[in-house]
Amino acid sequence: MSGSAVERREDVMVLQRYKLQIASHFVAQTGWTAEELANLMEVPPDRTLGDLALPCFKLAKTMRLAPPVIAQALAQDLQTCTIVHHAEATGGYLNVRLTRETVTTDTLVHLRSNETVFQDARGAGQTVAIDLSSPNIAKPFSMGHLRSTVIGTALANLFETSGYKTVRINHLGDWGTQFGKIIVAYRTYGDEATVSANPITELNRLYVQFHEEANERPELDDAARAAFKRLEDGNEEDLTLWRYMIDVSMKEFEKTYRLLGTKFDYNLGESFYNDKMDAVVDELREKGLLEESDGAEVVQLGETMPPCLIRRSDGATLYPTRDLAAALYRARHFHADHLLYVVGGEQRLHFQQVFAVLRKMGYTFADACEHIAFGLMRMGGKKMSTRKGQIVRLQEVLDEAITRARAIIEEKNPHLQNADAVARAVGVGAVIFNDLKTYRLHDIDFTMDTALAFDGETGPYVQYAHARTCSILRKAGVLQAGPSVEGWVTSLPNTHAEDAVDDATWYLTLTLQGIEAIRVRAIEERDPSLVAKHALDIAQAFNRFYHDCPILTSDGELKAMRLALTDAVRVALLHAMTWLGIEAPSEI
RNA sequence: GUCUCAGUAGCUCAGUUGGAUAGAGCAACAGCCUUCUAAGCUGUGGGUCGGGGGUUCGAGUCCCUCCUGAGACGCCA
């Protein structure tokens, strides 16, 4: 497949072994170490050139020979290498074709061993606290919050594959001046009956209306600030209204989370830190970091950053104050070694300031804090804004996705068992995958038809490929449930029959074994989109293999090899989808 | 204005430490279901990698500069 990981030249772990093995033949002649040579090696842009290549330009400098001459000479060194089928010089490149049968068998055995492919122990003993989702109380759960939810969940899942303990924290927006605004709006033009009939919609409408009116009457903003101050001071009447808002919001959020399959270890809203902020302010003062400025209290951060506001001139706390308290709590209470904040990129400066303040306070864990930023979800090129009422509700999108998936099942697979459950898995999977496949930092311009596409590079495409593997294995009588080692087809071919490994089989094998490196890289770069893209590559390579190579009607060792490969695909896709938080039905 | 991020096919996007002729998907068009699920496969067309300099054997990738877009920039979160 031309878009496969093979052509993307991923540095894959099984291939790394082969690189080293090949490179070891060149050490004597070049004077370079095998590691240095292996690092130079790459996958040729055009697969017809070979499976691996060594560009000889850098060698030319130390060997003082022309690159084509070096390539020619090195080709001779590979005559005795068992994993090399053919080697030839093309210009300054040495192109190597691997022995397909040997490598395919090796790869299947390696994947089946499952020692490091789908899990490892790099993070054993370490805890990573992840701040994710964090929707705002009294506002609809929008497509914008989906990003934080699915990226955070995927990262948590991936970290766990490396043995990290994760703490998933939903940092709910349940505190702040916005509640002053809603309280003022509710008291001014709200109506209890209307609100209780449709709480979030109505509360959000009040919020939008407040902003419209505050443009004309700025004194409303003062009233809102005063209302929030009353809340902070413990006014029981306002607190009752506030608790009501949390209650109705959480009920609606939980419905969405159930659909998405999102789980948290803790729902800790910003208000949770109310009684922990005085200590932070005191500590800042004791450490001599707090300064008065225009009636407010701030921490100066030098030339490169604006000061961080700690307390408003009326004494009320601010967002940074709560995040400081939260960070200290996470470091102390959860013993977090890494603190990840999956929050939109527009808050970059805010987190830089909070981390800088922690550093000035002398906390070394400040260096373990990371803002995992992501791009905006836009609509029609414009930023979604709750205040302007310009948002897409996630629930609407999910409902539409499920409806469309159900219609397609009705059309293509009318006798499917559990059709409703599968429609949910596919519809929701499409929405989640669409979000995760895009590079984190890129903005997404939301359109319903793109988010709900079921063809091409989509979640359903991957789910479909997975269901196909299950279907074949089921018919062969070897399908096992789950991603366990026991699930693997046990009989691997042990002969190296010529032409057993055709192009489709070979490219599938190469793509498949890349999943190990992708998983590790996705964790290192905190980028789930790598996994999503690689799942597409595997699915694509498998679909080609499926088309070109009959499996059930083949015989003997060829059939065994194809079944083993099919099962390896099944397990790899199942893992990848599980990491991404997407269901993998065995039949769709 | 300052800072940050981005600019690759009509649209949405891939392109690891600089490597060979820049790739997918969607949309369009043309093929493939008596054969393991056609949510699939194959093929065709489609490009000054925003512009211009520079670094070097080699730049979509690194540096500088300009243009464009988005975001942030003290009492919202």
Is pLDDT of A470 > 70? Answer: yes
**Does A415 contact strand B, using a CB cutoff of 7 Å?**
no
Is pLDDT of A375 > 80? Answer: yes
* pLDDT per residue as tens digits for the range A133-143: 999 999 999 88
Q: What is the mean pLDDT of residues A235-248?
A: 94
Q: What are phi and psi of A297, to 5 degrees?
A: -115, 130
Rounded CA separation A150/A582 (Å)? 10
Mean pLDDT score of chain A: 90
Rounded CA separation A341/A346 (Å)? 13
Q: What is the mean pLDDT of residues A50-66?
A: 93
Q: What is the pTM of this model?
A: 0.93
Find which nucleotide's C1' atom is closest to A177's CA.
Answer: B76
> How far does the CA of A360 sit from the C1' of B27, in Å?
54
Pick from A207, A249, A13: which is nearest to A110 by CA?
Answer: A13
Find which nucleotide's C1' atom is closest to A298's CA.
Answer: B74
- Residue A222 pLDDT: 87
Query: Lowest-confidence range among A12-16, A346-350, A511-515, A552-556?
Result: A12-16
Is pLDDT of A115 > 80? Answer: no
**Does A11 contact strand B, using a CB cutoff of 7 Å?**
yes
Q: What are phi and psi of A445, to 5 degrees?
A: -95, 110
> How far does the CA of A344 sit from the C1' of B1, in Å?
25
Q: What is the mean pLDDT of residues A67-86?
A: 93
Residue A75, CA distances (Å) to A3, A20, A49, A81 in order = 29, 15, 14, 11
**Does A435 contact strand B, using a CB cutoff of 7 Å?**
no
Q: Which residues 446-475 of chain A have a CB under 7 Å from nucleic chain B?
A: 450, 453-458, 460-461, 464, 467-468, 470-472, 475
- Residue A218 pLDDT: 81
> How far does the CA of A346 sit from the C1' of B22, in Å?
32
Q: Which residues 98-157 of chain A have a CB under 7 Å from nucleic chain B?
A: 136
Contact yes or no for A367/A327 (Cβ under 8 A): no
* pLDDT per residue as tens digits for the range A253-287: 999 999 999 999 999 999 999 999 999 999 999 99
- Residue A480 pLDDT: 79
Find which nucleotide's C1' atom is closest to A92's CA.
Answer: B20
Q: What is the mean pLDDT of residues A28-36?
A: 92
**Does A64 contact strand B, using a CB cutoff of 7 Å?**
no
Q: Which residue is nearest to nucleotide B77 (CA to C1')?
A: A319
Strand partners of residue A446: A379
Q: What is the dihedral of CA A545, A550, A551, A557, to 10 degrees?
A: -100
Q: What is the mean pLDDT of residues A24-52?
A: 92
Contact yes or no for A281/A291 (Cβ under 8 A): no
Find which nucleotide's C1' atom is closest to A270's CA.
Answer: B77
Contact yes or no for A576/A538 (Cβ under 8 A): yes
Is pLDDT of A7 > 60? Answer: no
Residue A217: count other Cβ atoms within 10 Å of its Cβ: 10
Q: Which residues 531-550 of chain A have a CB under 7 Å from nucleic chain B?
A: 533, 540, 543-544, 546-547, 549-550
- Residue A10 pLDDT: 33
Rounded CA separation A397/A452 (Å)? 8
**Does A388 contact strand B, using a CB cutoff of 7 Å?**
no
Query: Lowest-confidence range among A11-15, A149-153, A332-336?
Result: A11-15
Q: Which residue is nearest to nucleotide B71 (CA to C1')?
A: A346
The token duo for A512 is 């498949």
The band of A8, judged by pLDDT with boundaries at 50, 70 and 90, is very low
ipTM: 0.95
Of residues A260 and A116, the one with the higher pLDDT is A260
**Does A427 contact strand B, using a CB cutoff of 7 Å?**
no
Is pLDDT of A585 > 70? Answer: yes
The band of A365, judged by pLDDT with boundaries at 50, 70 and 90, is very high
> How far does the CA of A57 sit from the C1' of B58, in Å?
9
* pLDDT per residue as tens digits for the range A152-200: 999 999 999 999 999 999 999 999 888 999 999 999 888 889 999 989 9
Pick from A311, A327, A328, A319: which is nearest to A350 by CA?
Answer: A319
Rounded CA separation A481/A494 (Å)? 26
Rounded CA separation A488/A495 (Å)? 19
**Does A53 contact strand B, using a CB cutoff of 7 Å?**
yes
Strand partners of residue A165: A127
Rounded CA separation A554/A557 (Å)? 9
Q: What is the mean pLDDT of residues A81-97?
A: 93
- Residue A11 pLDDT: 35
DSSP state of A124: T
The band of A9, judged by pLDDT with boundaries at 50, 70 and 90, is very low
Find which nucleotide's C1' atom is closest to A56's CA.
Answer: B19
Pairing relationship of beta strands A93-98 and A84-90 according to DSSP bridges:
antiparallel
Of residues A132 and A233, the one with the higher pLDDT is A132
Pick from A385, A354, A573, A333: which is nearest to A473 by CA?
Answer: A573
Query: Lowest-confidence range among A405-409, A423-427, A478-482?
Result: A478-482
The band of A102, judged by pLDDT with boundaries at 50, 70 and 90, is confident
Question: In one letter, which amino acid is A458?
Answer: T
- Residue A341 pLDDT: 96
The band of A2, judged by pLDDT with boundaries at 50, 70 and 90, is very low
Rounded CA separation A537/A57 (Å)? 31
> How far does the CA of A492 sit from the C1' of B13, in Å?
38
> How far does the CA of A155 sit from the C1' of B64, in Å?
37
Query: Lowest-confidence range among A117-131, A241-255, A550-564?
Result: A550-564
Residue A448: count other Cβ atoms within 10 Å of its Cβ: 13
The token duo for A167 is 């703490």
Q: Which residues 223-262 of chain A have a CB under 7 Å from nucleic chain B?
A: 225
**Does A346 contact strand B, using a CB cutoff of 7 Å?**
yes
Residue A429, CA distances (Å) to A145, A148, A420, A434 in order = 16, 16, 14, 8
**Does A294 contact strand B, using a CB cutoff of 7 Å?**
yes
**Does A413 contact strand B, using a CB cutoff of 7 Å?**
yes
Is pLDDT of A23 > 60? Answer: yes
> How far does the CA of A546 sit from the C1' of B33, in Å?
14
Helical segments of A53-176, H only: 57-63, 67-77, 100-113, 143-161
Find which nucleotide's C1' atom is closest to A350's CA.
Answer: B72
Q: Which nucleotides of B are covered by protein (CB under 7 A)?
A: 4-6, 12-17, 19-27, 35-42, 57-58, 70-77
